[in-house]
Amino acid sequence: MPRFIVFEGIDGSGKSTVAHACLPLLGEGAAVLTEEPTKSWLGDAVRKAHQMRENPVTEAFLFMADRASHNEKIRKWLSEGLSVVCDRYYHSTVAYQSAAIADVDDSDSFEWLLEINRRISIEPDLVFLLDIDPETALDRVNRRGEQSKFEKLAFLEKVADNYRRLARSSKNIQVIDASDALNEVVSEISRRL
Protein backbone atom coordinates (compact mmCIF):
# COMPACT_ATOMS: atom_id res chain seq x y z
CA MET A 1 0.00 0.00 0.00
CA PRO A 2 1.51 3.35 -1.00
CA ARG A 3 2.30 5.82 1.75
CA PHE A 4 2.97 9.52 1.88
CA ILE A 5 5.99 10.13 4.13
CA VAL A 6 7.41 13.56 4.94
CA PHE A 7 10.76 14.56 6.42
CA GLU A 8 10.80 17.82 8.37
CA GLY A 9 13.22 19.76 10.51
CA ILE A 10 15.16 22.98 10.75
CA ASP A 11 17.89 23.72 8.23
CA GLY A 12 20.93 21.65 9.15
CA SER A 13 18.91 18.82 10.71
CA GLY A 14 19.87 16.43 7.90
CA LYS A 15 16.39 15.92 6.48
CA SER A 16 17.43 15.93 2.81
CA THR A 17 20.28 13.48 3.45
CA VAL A 18 18.05 11.23 5.55
CA ALA A 19 15.18 11.33 3.03
CA HIS A 20 17.56 10.15 0.28
CA ALA A 21 19.00 7.45 2.55
CA CYS A 22 15.54 6.17 3.54
CA LEU A 23 14.10 5.95 0.02
CA PRO A 24 15.48 2.40 -0.58
CA LEU A 25 13.77 1.22 2.63
CA LEU A 26 10.44 1.44 0.79
CA GLY A 27 11.58 -0.93 -1.96
CA GLU A 28 13.34 -0.48 -5.27
CA GLY A 29 11.15 1.47 -7.68
CA ALA A 30 8.33 1.60 -5.12
CA ALA A 31 8.73 5.23 -4.09
CA VAL A 32 9.47 8.68 -5.49
CA LEU A 33 11.38 11.45 -3.76
CA THR A 34 10.08 14.98 -4.07
CA GLU A 35 10.65 18.26 -2.25
CA GLU A 36 9.28 21.67 -1.42
CA PRO A 37 9.71 24.18 -2.74
CA THR A 38 9.34 22.22 -5.98
CA LYS A 39 11.36 22.64 -9.14
CA SER A 40 8.34 24.17 -10.93
CA TRP A 41 7.91 27.84 -11.83
CA LEU A 42 5.96 28.21 -8.58
CA GLY A 43 8.90 26.79 -6.64
CA ASP A 44 11.14 29.22 -8.51
CA ALA A 45 8.84 32.06 -7.39
CA VAL A 46 9.21 30.88 -3.78
CA ARG A 47 13.01 30.87 -4.05
CA LYS A 48 13.00 34.30 -5.74
CA ALA A 49 10.78 35.76 -3.00
CA HIS A 50 13.13 34.29 -0.40
CA GLN A 51 16.19 35.82 -2.10
CA MET A 52 14.43 39.19 -2.38
CA ARG A 53 13.52 39.04 1.33
CA GLU A 54 9.85 39.38 0.48
CA ASN A 55 7.24 39.97 3.17
CA PRO A 56 6.78 36.67 5.11
CA VAL A 57 3.00 36.61 4.52
CA THR A 58 3.61 36.85 0.77
CA GLU A 59 6.16 34.05 1.03
CA ALA A 60 3.69 31.90 2.98
CA PHE A 61 1.10 32.21 0.23
CA LEU A 62 3.68 31.47 -2.46
CA PHE A 63 4.64 28.30 -0.59
CA MET A 64 0.96 27.34 -0.46
CA ALA A 65 0.49 27.98 -4.19
CA ASP A 66 3.49 25.76 -4.92
CA ARG A 67 2.04 23.10 -2.62
CA ALA A 68 -1.40 23.19 -4.25
CA SER A 69 0.25 22.38 -7.59
CA HIS A 70 2.58 19.83 -5.99
CA ASN A 71 -0.39 18.00 -4.45
CA GLU A 72 -1.61 17.07 -7.94
CA LYS A 73 1.65 15.20 -8.57
CA ILE A 74 1.58 13.58 -5.13
CA ARG A 75 -1.98 12.32 -5.70
CA LYS A 76 -0.99 10.97 -9.12
CA TRP A 77 2.00 9.05 -7.74
CA LEU A 78 -0.06 7.62 -4.88
CA SER A 79 -2.83 6.54 -7.30
CA GLU A 80 -0.16 4.77 -9.39
CA GLY A 81 0.75 2.71 -6.31
CA LEU A 82 3.95 4.57 -5.52
CA SER A 83 4.89 5.75 -2.07
CA VAL A 84 5.92 9.39 -1.91
CA VAL A 85 8.81 10.66 0.21
CA CYS A 86 8.75 14.44 0.54
CA ASP A 87 11.60 16.62 1.78
CA ARG A 88 9.58 19.38 3.52
CA TYR A 89 5.83 19.90 3.30
CA TYR A 90 3.25 22.17 4.93
CA HIS A 91 4.83 21.76 8.37
CA SER A 92 7.80 23.80 7.12
CA THR A 93 5.54 26.64 6.02
CA VAL A 94 3.85 26.70 9.43
CA ALA A 95 7.12 26.46 11.40
CA TYR A 96 9.19 28.90 9.34
CA GLN A 97 6.64 31.42 8.17
CA SER A 98 4.96 31.82 11.55
CA ALA A 99 8.41 32.53 13.04
CA ALA A 100 9.15 35.01 10.22
CA ILE A 101 5.77 36.72 10.58
CA ALA A 102 6.33 37.00 14.35
CA ASP A 103 9.50 38.98 13.61
CA VAL A 104 7.46 41.72 11.87
CA ASP A 105 4.06 41.39 13.56
CA ASP A 106 3.18 40.52 17.15
CA SER A 107 0.24 38.32 16.16
CA ASP A 108 0.41 34.54 16.47
CA SER A 109 0.16 33.35 12.88
CA PHE A 110 0.86 29.70 13.78
CA GLU A 111 -2.79 28.66 14.08
CA TRP A 112 -4.10 30.33 10.95
CA LEU A 113 -1.17 29.07 8.88
CA LEU A 114 -1.78 25.57 10.23
CA GLU A 115 -5.50 25.76 9.45
CA ILE A 116 -5.04 27.01 5.87
CA ASN A 117 -2.29 24.51 5.13
CA ARG A 118 -4.24 21.56 6.49
CA ARG A 119 -7.19 22.54 4.28
CA ILE A 120 -5.15 22.62 1.06
CA SER A 121 -2.75 19.75 1.80
CA ILE A 122 -2.79 15.98 1.65
CA GLU A 123 -2.34 14.74 5.20
CA PRO A 124 0.83 12.60 5.26
CA ASP A 125 0.66 9.07 6.63
CA LEU A 126 3.83 9.70 8.57
CA VAL A 127 6.02 12.73 9.29
CA PHE A 128 9.53 12.32 10.63
CA LEU A 129 10.61 15.45 12.48
CA LEU A 130 14.39 15.48 12.67
CA ASP A 131 14.92 17.32 15.93
CA ILE A 132 18.30 18.86 16.65
CA ASP A 133 19.74 21.62 18.78
CA PRO A 134 19.61 24.80 16.65
CA GLU A 135 23.24 25.63 17.45
CA THR A 136 24.41 22.26 16.12
CA ALA A 137 22.21 22.68 13.04
CA LEU A 138 23.61 26.16 12.42
CA ASP A 139 27.17 24.78 12.61
CA ARG A 140 26.25 22.22 9.92
CA VAL A 141 24.74 24.94 7.70
CA ASN A 142 27.80 27.15 8.11
CA ARG A 143 30.09 24.25 7.13
CA ARG A 144 28.07 23.86 3.91
CA GLY A 145 28.51 27.57 3.23
CA GLU A 146 24.78 27.97 2.51
CA GLN A 147 23.39 30.64 4.76
CA SER A 148 20.10 32.42 4.11
CA LYS A 149 17.93 34.77 6.09
CA PHE A 150 16.52 31.76 7.95
CA GLU A 151 19.89 30.70 9.35
CA LYS A 152 20.21 32.88 12.43
CA LEU A 153 20.32 31.17 15.83
CA ALA A 154 17.44 33.08 17.47
CA PHE A 155 15.27 32.48 14.41
CA LEU A 156 16.10 28.75 14.20
CA GLU A 157 15.22 28.43 17.89
CA LYS A 158 11.74 29.85 17.16
CA VAL A 159 11.35 27.52 14.20
CA ALA A 160 12.45 24.50 16.27
CA ASP A 161 9.89 25.46 18.92
CA ASN A 162 7.21 25.69 16.22
CA TYR A 163 8.10 22.21 14.93
CA ARG A 164 7.85 20.81 18.46
CA ARG A 165 4.49 22.53 18.84
CA LEU A 166 3.33 20.81 15.63
CA ALA A 167 4.57 17.45 16.94
CA ARG A 168 2.57 17.86 20.15
CA SER A 169 -0.60 18.52 18.14
CA SER A 170 -0.34 15.63 15.66
CA LYS A 171 -0.37 11.86 16.11
CA ASN A 172 1.42 11.18 12.83
CA ILE A 173 4.57 13.19 13.61
CA GLN A 174 7.43 11.03 14.88
CA VAL A 175 10.27 12.97 16.54
CA ILE A 176 13.73 11.61 15.73
CA ASP A 177 16.96 12.73 17.44
CA ALA A 178 18.92 14.12 14.49
CA SER A 179 22.09 14.71 16.51
CA ASP A 180 22.91 10.99 16.15
CA ALA A 181 25.06 9.65 13.31
CA LEU A 182 23.31 9.26 9.94
CA ASN A 183 23.28 5.44 10.11
CA GLU A 184 21.66 5.58 13.57
CA VAL A 185 19.00 8.05 12.39
CA VAL A 186 18.21 5.91 9.33
CA SER A 187 18.10 2.78 11.49
CA GLU A 188 15.63 4.43 13.89
CA ILE A 189 13.43 5.54 10.99
CA SER A 190 13.58 2.04 9.50
CA ARG A 191 12.24 0.63 12.79
CA ARG A 192 9.35 3.11 12.71
CA LEU A 193 8.42 2.54 9.07
The yes/no answer on whether domain 4-192 falls in CATH 3.40.50.150 is no
Q: What is the pTM of this model?
A: 0.92
Sign of CA dihedral 71, 76, 81, 85: negative
pLDDT in tens, 18-73: 999 999 999 888 999 999 999 999 999 999 998 888 889 999 999 999 999 999 99
The residue among 17 and 141 whose pLDDT is bigger is 17
pLDDT digit string (tens) for 125-162?
Answer: 999 999 999 999 888 887 876 665 556 888 999 999 99
Within a 13 Å sphere around the CA of 151, how many CA atoms are in the beta-carbon half?
Answer: 16
The residue with greater pLDDT, 75 or 155, is 75
Domain range list for the chain: 4-192
pLDDT of residue 150: 58
